[in-house]
Homo-oligomer: A and B are copies of this chain.
Amino acid sequence: MKIGIVGIGLIGASLGWDFRQMGHHVIGVSRQHSTCTTAEREEICDRASCNLASLQDTEIIFICTPIAAIIPTIEQLIPHLHPDTIITDAGSVKEAIVDRSTELWANFVGGHPMAGNSQSGIAAFEKRLFADRPYVLTPTSKTSPIALERVAELVRSLNSILYYATPEQHDLAVAWISHLPIMVSASLISACLHEADPTILDFAKKFASTGFRDTSRVGGGNPEMGMMMAEYNREAILRSLYQYRDRLDTVIGSIETQAWTEIKDLLSTNQSVRNDFLDSKDV
Answer whether residue A56 sits at the interface, using C-beta atoms and an 8 A cutoff. no
Q: Which of A202-218 contact B (CB under 8 A)?
A: 203-218
CA distance A207 to B176 in the complex (A): 10
The count of residues in chain A whose C-beta lies closer than 8 Å to any C-beta of chain B is: 97
Q: Which residues of the other chain, B, contact A180 by a CB distance below 8 angstroms?
A: 188, 191-192
Measured CB to CB, the closest approach of chain B to A167, in angstroms, equals 12
Please tell me if the beta carbons of B211 and A263 are within 8 angstroms of each other in the complex: no
A sample of 19 more A-B contacts (CB under 8 A), given A177-B207, A205-B276, is A116-B209, A134-B207, A172-B203, A173-B206, A176-B191, A177-B208, A182-B267, A184-B185, A186-B251, A190-B250, A193-B273, A204-B277, A219-B270, A223-B267, A227-B260, A227-B264, A234-B258, A238-B255, A241-B251
17 contacts between A and B (CB under 8 A): A133-B209, A163-B203, A172-B197, A176-B191, A176-B204, A177-B208, A177-B209, A181-B211, A181-B215, A190-B266, A214-B218, A216-B277, A223-B270, A224-B264, A226-B263, A230-B260, A245-B252
